[in-house]
Amino acid sequence: MRPFTIVLLGLLLVTLLGFAALLVFKISVLPTEIEPAHFAAYGTLIGGVLTPMTIIVAAFALLQRERAHQAEMKNLQSQSNRLDLMRFIQKIEKDIQNALDKLTINVTYKQEDIHATGNDAFLNLTFLEWPAVIPSEKQVKERLNASNGQVSRNEPLIICYEAFSTITIYLNSLRQYCEEHDRLSGTNMTTLYFLRKYRIGIQRLSDQGYGVHKWKPMAQQNAQADTGVPSV
């Protein structure tokens, strides 16, 4: 209930009590001769009844206003936190794009030389040669074992593996910030947006064994909590 409404109701209550006191005064005094002492008694009655009520109403209204102020400050803090989170989210999105843009490489896929970019492998659904650009951890280990650990960092396999390992770290951080932003805003729009944007890349990284965390929008998490299904 708003403080203004509380004060209005309090004033109404005080007015009703005043009329009640006037009625008591009328019944008890008016049949007899009115003397100045009677008015003094009536004033004492009004003061004794209305003054405590007025103080209580004012104190209650003040308490409600303080609660409303605290709620407003909490809301402002939440908005500030959401803005900070959105800045982090935009920074990570930019870092992911920069990492993809830097990755331009020539690889061999099914005995064919292919000129590929990070964007092709990560975002392009029709780029079927993506496994040559996003190597699995198994491929990297086999290459290291075959060369006794003597592998140049300039080798395409290593360049691609390091790039997409870094992108995996970015994605996991992005997921955490998006979920926290959605928790504060009460929606799942941010998580859904980036899940749709990076769905192909997330699936390909997952297929290749990278440690990318599974994205779950807030609504889906709540549904699982209601049904008792554990989240992954």
pLDDT score of 216: 79
- Which residues lie across from 104 on neighbouring strands? 117
pLDDT score of 191: 92
Report the distance separating Cα 216 and Cα 230, nearest Å: 12
pLDDT score of 1: 52
pLDDT score of 224: 45
Report the distance separating Cα 213 and Cα 220, nearest Å: 15
What is the 3-state secondary structure of 35-55? CHHHHHHHHHHHHHHHHHHHH
**Could you read off the pLDDT of 116-141 as tens digits, one per residue?**
899 999 999 999 989 989 999 888 88
> What's phi and psi for 109, nearest 5 deg?
-135, 120
Which alpha helices (H) appear in the chain, and where do they start and end? 3-29, 36-102, 118-123, 130-133, 137-146, 156-185, 189-197, 199-207, 218-227
Of the CA atoms within 13 Å of residue 13, those in its CB half-sphere come to 16
**Could you read off the pLDDT of 95-106 as tens digits, one per residue?**
999 999 999 988
**Segments of the chain with pLDDT less than 70:** 1-66, 68-77, 149, 218-232
Report the distance separating Cα 163 and Cα 11, nearest Å: 70
Report the distance separating Cα 99 and Cα 105, nearest Å: 13
Residue 217 tokens read as 């929008």
**8 A C-beta contact, residue 130 and residue 114:** no
